[in-house]
A and B are shown apart, each in its own frame.
Chain A
Amino acid sequence: MSAKELLKAGWGLADDLLATIAAPPRDRRCLVVEIGEERFAVPHEDVREVVDRPLVSPWLRDPWVIGVFALRGQICTLLDPLGEGRTRRTAVVLAREGRALALGVDGLAGVQTFAGDGWKDFDGGRFEWARRLFAGETRATLWFDVDRMLETLDRMSDKETSP
């Protein structure tokens, strides 16, 4: 019986309370990218492909959207994860059904497998979607929670479009 099942059986905790208990960490294979001064780990399963120096048409007055570029017949939206509205040289195209989105990054540091128990909780600082930190030997890597970032941006976009 798992810890959750034990808890539920023994103390009858409500499902919503159980849902707040974080899933156990597991080893994750990630693409490590550099954005500004920071290093982020983007889960491997979230990455569809990497496009170096895409031909970007700039977007308008939105610090989170750098611009758009053509990707095999689709128009792909290039995001600035730091919200600085800066052009970045590489596009990490996200694997998201029905959406054509890419993260603008300054460089790729490689592919790395992170041990599940190596992650520490982190308050995110100015990155709302980076709530875990992997303290490496030389520098820390922040966990890039793609879903969290997209939820935040979608929420902001909805506000902007609502009357």
Chain B
Amino acid sequence: MSEEDLRELIDPFAAEAEEAFLAFEATLVEEERRLQEGAVVSASALRGHLPALHTVKGNAGMLGMAMFSAAVHQLEEIVKRARPLDAAALKGLLRLVDDGREDLARIRDGAEDALGLAVWTEWLTRLADGDEAAGDVADADSGARELPVEGGDRERRSLRVATEKLDELQREVGELILAHNALADVLARELQGRLDRGAARDLQDAIDRLSRRVRHVQSATTRTRLLGLGTILRRVPRIARDAAERTGKAVRVEVVGDEVEADKGVVDALAEVIVHLVRNAVDHGIEAPAARRKLGKAEAGRLTVRVAARGEVVSIEVGDDGAGIDLDRLRAKAVERGLVDADEAASAEEEVALRWLFRAGFSTRDRATELSGRGVGLDVVDRTVRDLGGAVRLEHTQGQGTRFILTVPVSTAVADLMEIVVAERAFFVPLTRIIATGRFDAAMHERPGGADRYRFRDELVPLLPFAESLGGKAAAGDYLIVLEHASGKAGVRIDRIVGKGQAVLTPLGDPLLQHGPFAGGTVRGDGRVGLILDPDRLVAWQRAVGR
């Protein structure tokens, strides 16, 4: 086997091994929780992972990774023989999983074999010390060989495909849609009135059939890229457990919806977000056991991660039953950090005040030590979700808990867009970022301190001079669109709304376009690029260019 052929096999091998480790880890965390509640660790639950680990060992050996294969073999031996299965044993096994995962990352990065075996050796020494007694410990729950092996069936029904190949397929389907739209556009424009009624109807029927097939192909292609969020959610108990251990807290985790699927790009982006929110809930939401006792709460805090699919949107809720958010403290910090003045802090609606938590540096600055090594703050959570075309909402009840509600599209390749016209130019806006549209009412237009504002639902919303920036007339546009952006709402006067629809999204790849107000583009039926406004970028761009 050539070096190149070998490297091609590494990714599927590493993905399979990671899945095996992830599933094993989830069982270890669950068994640790049961043990803390006084139950006996189920040896058979751990042994249920032996077939998957055995496959990983075999594949590693086949790929010439002798050390990695030997290490997994030792892990198998530990699972088979280690007694007693106490808290220390489970903790040691969790460390082995971490080491195995690190080794996989190194192998993916080009290492030929496992390197981080120090902890394995340490553990094996401990095992050897207790090995004499291992056989004497009765295993009341020994049914490993009879356990159903799910892995084999799954493998036969699925096929690992390189992401690049799926990307290429999706690009080609995007091209097919464009070609179809262009054809339908030309036929409608050029042939209208030239054909007799029967021929026109036949032609229209053929176009409709083609449209349906194209939509089905698009939908099927999108589905091939869908991954279960289970790959992230299965990590949640471990992440919560580690955070609780570090902070001296106790947590019970409930995860719902790991069968929900989303595009691989969405799942990858959400991984970091969910990890952060889970740690955030343990660190800052859930109180220490003593404090909870005093409050009459159960010592172990409750952390819930619920994922659900609603049509083309996935919602993710990360909630806890902790302290909630101290709004007085939040207002004081906003003033202290110069975000708002004292009057504005005092008068801001709760919804507005909660958005301050998503400003860069706001939530973590004075807790840098505590949070060191996290990598992301709530501002990054917000930015990531927005970049996916979604939104984050925060709900809380003081003393009773906090809930982050994220909504993201299932796929970023296709989005629901509204087409608008501003200064005689057409643009698109993601529907998820539109709060309201309507006729512009001059009576609602105010200019406090010379700044254009629009009174919208008892709130004064800034009006962006987008039409003027495009060379249009000042104060033009009979309609108004209210957009949601990172730090609030903004209004834009527009000429008209053309309509709504789904479109294939294409990124604006070149760095020269990054400073504009657009998130990407979509190729319209006439072959032109329709530019998609990103409210966050629009606000920043407008600030930079003025009028």
Contacts and interface: CB of A to CB of B under 8 A. Distances in A.
Interface of A: 55-61, 64-65, 68-70, 72-75, 77, 79, 98-101, 153-154, 157, 160-161
A64 B516 CA distance: 13
A100 B174 contact: no
B528 A55 contact: yes
A75 B527 contact: no
B429 to A, nearest CB: 15
A154 B512 contact: yes
Interface string B486-516: 0000000000000000000011111111111
Given A55-B528, A73-B506, A68 B521 contact: yes
A70 B523 contact: yes
B174 A58 contact: no
Q: Which of the listed residues B178, B469, B508, B513 has the most CB atoms from chain A within 10 Å of its own CB?
A: B513
B530 interface: yes
B506 A75 contact: yes
Q: Which of the listed residues B178, B520, B526, B529 has the most CB atoms from chain A within 10 Å of its own CB?
A: B529
B425 interface: yes
A99 B509 contact: yes
Contacts of A64: 512
Nearest to B526: A55
Nearest to A150: B512
Contacts of B506: 70, 73-75
Q: Which of the listed residues B172, B511, B520 has the most CB atoms from chain A within 10 Å of its own CB?
A: B511
B140 interface: no
B510 A55 contact: no
B469 A60 contact: yes
B284 interface: no
A11 B447 CA distance: 73
A59 B516 CA distance: 9
17 contacts: A55-B526, A55-B528, A57-B521, A61-B545, A69-B528, A69-B529, A73-B171, A73-B175, A73-B178, A73-B506, A75-B508, A77-B508, A77-B510, A99-B509, A101-B510, A101-B512, A153-B512
Secondary structure of the A contact surface, majority rule: mixed
Contacts of A74: 506, 509
A100 B509 contact: yes
Contacts of B530: 57
Contact of A161 (B175, B425, B515, B520): B515
A160 B509 contact: no
Contact of A100 (B510, B514, B528): B510
B517 interface: yes
B529 A68 contact: yes
Contact of A157 (B178, B511, B520, B531): B511
User: Which 3 residue pairs across A and B have the least CB separation, nearest first?
Assistant: A70-B523, A161-B515, A57-B529
Given A59-B513, A70-B529, 19 more contacts: A55-B527, A56-B528, A57-B521, A60-B470, A60-B516, A65-B512, A68-B508, A70-B506, A70-B527, A75-B506, A75-B508, A75-B520, A75-B521, A77-B513, A99-B509, A99-B510, A154-B511, A154-B512, A157-B512
Given A75-B506, A75-B508, A65 B529 contact: no
Contacts of B513: 59, 65, 68, 75, 77
A154 B515 CA distance: 11
Given A74-B509, A75-B508, A57 B528 contact: yes
Contact of B517 (A60, A100, A161): A60
Contacts of B529: 55, 57, 68-70, 75
Nearest to B466: A60
B196 to A, nearest CB: 32
A70 B528 contact: yes
* Chain B interface size, under 10 / 10 to 19 / 20 to 34 / 35 or more: 20 to 34
A68 B531 contact: yes
A123 B523 CA distance: 41
B535 to A, nearest CB: 16
A11 to B, nearest CB: 42
Contacts of B527: 55, 70
Contacts of A101: 510, 512
Q: Which of the listed residues A70, A72, A160 has the most CB atoms from chain B within 10 Å of its own CB?
A: A70
Nearest to A98: B509
Contact of B512 (A58, A61, A77): A77
B9 to A, nearest CB: 27
Interface string B156-179: 000000000000000110110010
A57 B513 CA distance: 13
Contacts of B509: 74-75, 98-100
B13 to A, nearest CB: 29
B22 to A, nearest CB: 33
B510 A57 contact: no
A99 B545 CA distance: 26
A160 to B, nearest CB: 5
Nearest to A67: B529
Contact of B515 (A55, A99, A100, A160): A160
A154 B531 CA distance: 21
A75 B526 CA distance: 15
Contact of A75 (B171, B507, B545): B507
Contacts of B544: 160
Contacts of B178: 70, 73
Contacts of B512: 64-65, 77, 79, 101, 153-154, 157
A58 B528 CA distance: 10
A129 to B, nearest CB: 15
A121 B9 CA distance: 53
A79 B510 CA distance: 12
Nearest to A70: B523
Nearest to B173: A73
B168 to A, nearest CB: 10
A149 to B, nearest CB: 11
B469 A61 contact: yes
Contact of A72 (B175, B469, B511, B514): B175
Contacts of A75: 506-509, 513, 520-521, 529
Interface in B377-431: 425
